[in-house]
Structure 1
Amino acid sequence: MSLDRELSANPYQEVPVNPAETDSRLRTRDLRLAHGSRVVVDGLDLALPERQVTVIVGPNGCGKSTLLGGLARTLPARGGAVLLDGRELTRMPTREIARSIGMLPQSAIAPDGLTVRDLVRYGRQPHQGLLRQWSADDARAVEEALTAADLHDLADRPLETLSGGQRQRAWIAMAVAQETPILLLDEPTSALDMGHALEVLELVRSLAAQGRTPVLVLHDLTTACRYADHMIALKDGAIIAQGPPSAIVNPDLVRELYGVESAILTDPLHGTPVICPLRVTPSATQA
């Protein structure tokens, strides 16, 4: 069989997900999101599986970060709703949302002079109040987050003295210290070398094993396949496929998302898809 014939032999099939039937605390209903006058997501129905790692993939500008912002209410919905335990986020107090949903954006900024430990302590703010000040539980959460991100040796260093990768790990530790059941991470490995990127992704998997629900945006499709329990393929603000990576990732999906012809191998250790790019499709180069 020729390679071209092989590439077109397996049209991708979305694994149906009925939001009404999915075990999910966080879901959307006919969600509409926009930046200014430009609508990015329109009419999206989505349910995030509980206690699984969900990875959102898709080409640049398809709406991945926009969708995370909508799920965290950092980007207000223009229509439809985001529901947490059946309640619309727009009707919930910010502090209550922050106890359930943690969000780490792509570009986070901290005040000058802040140490790593200071930053991680900020993750405990949603748990503070007039009648609840700093506690032993808060101290434990900070220490566990520093350990998880391998930052104890850097805990008293100012953030501005760290490398980009070290700062990214500090922000991730802050999100971990927040101890929210749902954790949204927008490209959490973008500034990390291979070793620290693997540490972060293994940390994400361990959080899911502990009962939390991590949702990540990742650019590398092979990495996403390895670490995702549930994958959402996004294009032009719409879901074109979702389900376990082994069920939805094939050459047709790669072509649809990225305009690239590919061969799909199987990771011999993990059994997950490995994407081997071959060439840009002629239609993509002419677009």
Structure 2
Amino acid sequence: MTGTLEERATAADLVTEALDVGYGGEPVVRALDVRLPPGAVTAIVGPNGCGKSTLLGALARVHTPQAGAVLLDGRDLARIRPRDAARRIGLLPQQAEAPDGLTVRDLVRYGRHPHQGLLRQWSPDDAGAVDRALAAADLVELADRPLDTLSGGQRQRAWIAMVVAQQTDVVLLDEPTSALDLGHQLEVLELVRDLAAAGRTVVAVLHDLSTACRHADHLVAMRGGRIVAEGAPQDVVTPGLVRELYGVEAVVLVDPTAGTPVVCPIRRLAP
């Protein structure tokens, strides 16, 4: 990536305390206590259905806790006004969709919505935030292109640029590299690293464990709605953790370039 994030964010402290979140009265995430390191990239990993996206939704105030709380800089997120929360926390959900014919610039402009109001209309500050977001995502030359003419990686970077334009201190990404090839994954993950380098607290749900190890500073491993391990990837990713999370026998090697764990699956174990 050649783009840069000129404005620096205020590193936000995001914490859950005894958090229960679920649907129809049944918790999916149970009694969860976690602190997401400020100004760093945290990857949430684990098998399908373990509660990763549900946790992310609670952090974004999309899901209301059944018990416990999410705290943003010590304040209960549920007690913060929705517009104020949207100025602090940005979410890119899975399978985000935009209206037909929308250009890249149009999409990125949506990121300024939380800053608008009856007494505050579009301003030079908003235009500047959009321009900086486009530059950060290397999309200036594509700004007037319709989204449906872009490659998968370019389109995903456009969605992340929308969140960048929102100028939040916390950025939450649900499977931002899903269905992308290796080159486009790297495009997106380099931008994610840039977000943290600019002071943002970034939390991403990722499926590939080796990719998470390489690009995240902190790992949160979940199974059955609970955290089974957390910490720096090189400290927590072991053959035992892979076995516990996925029921897979694996060898864990060290990436010769990054020094991070590389998971080499051998076989699926019997239930």
TM-score, normalising length: structure 1: 0.86
Match of 1:206 in 2: 194
Deviations 1:148-189 (A, max 9, x none): 222223222222344444332221110111111100000001
The separation in 2 between residues aligned to 1:50 and 1:254, in whole angstroms, is 27
Residue ranges of structure 2 left out of the alignment (5+ in a row): 1-10
Deviations 1:61-94 (A, max 9, x none): 1000000000101111111111112221221111
Distance 1:164-1:207 versus aligned 2 partners, 3 A rule: closer
Residue correspondences, number: 261
Counterpart contact for 1:115–1:159, Cα < 8 Å:
yes
Deviations 1:198-250 (A, max 9, x none): 12111111211111111001001000000111100000110000000000001
Match of 2:167 in 1: 179
Match of 1:194 in 2: 182
Match of 2:230 in 1: 242
Structure 1 position 267 matched with structure 2 position 255 = yes
Residue ranges of structure 1 left out of the alignment (5+ in a row): 1-22
Aligned pair partner of 2:36 in 45, 48, 57: 48
Match of 1:223 in 2: 211
Match of 1:88 in 2: 76
Shift of 1:24: 5.9
Match of 1:65 in 2: 53
Counterpart contact for 1:70–1:76, Cα < 8 Å:
yes
Shift of 1:52: 0.9
One-letter code aligned to 1:144: R
Aligned pair partner of 1:133 in 93, 109, 121: 121
Distance 1:206-1:162 versus aligned 2 partners, 3 A rule: closer
The separation in 1 between residues aligned to 2:100 and 2:249, in whole angstroms, is 46
One-letter code aligned to 1:114: L
The separation in 1 between residues aligned to 2:227 and 2:29, in whole angstroms, is 10
Match of 2:6 in 1: none
Residues 173-182 or 190-199, more deviating = 190-199
One-letter code aligned to 2:119: L
> What percentage of residue pairs aligned between the two structures are identical?
67
One-letter code aligned to 2:200: R
Counterpart contact for 1:165–1:191, Cα < 8 Å:
no
TM-score, normalising length: structure 2: 0.91
The separation in 2 between residues aligned to 1:279 and 1:147, in whole angstroms, is 44
Match of 1:256 in 2: 244
One-letter code aligned to 1:71: L
The within-5 A match list for 1:156-167 is 156-167=144-155
CA RMSD of aligned residues (A): 1.6
Residues 156-165 or 28-37, more deviating = 156-165
Structure ID, larger Rg: 1
One-letter code aligned to 1:242: E
Helix, strand or coil for the counterpart of 2:54? helix
The separation in 2 between residues aligned to 1:255 and 1:243, in whole angstroms, is 18
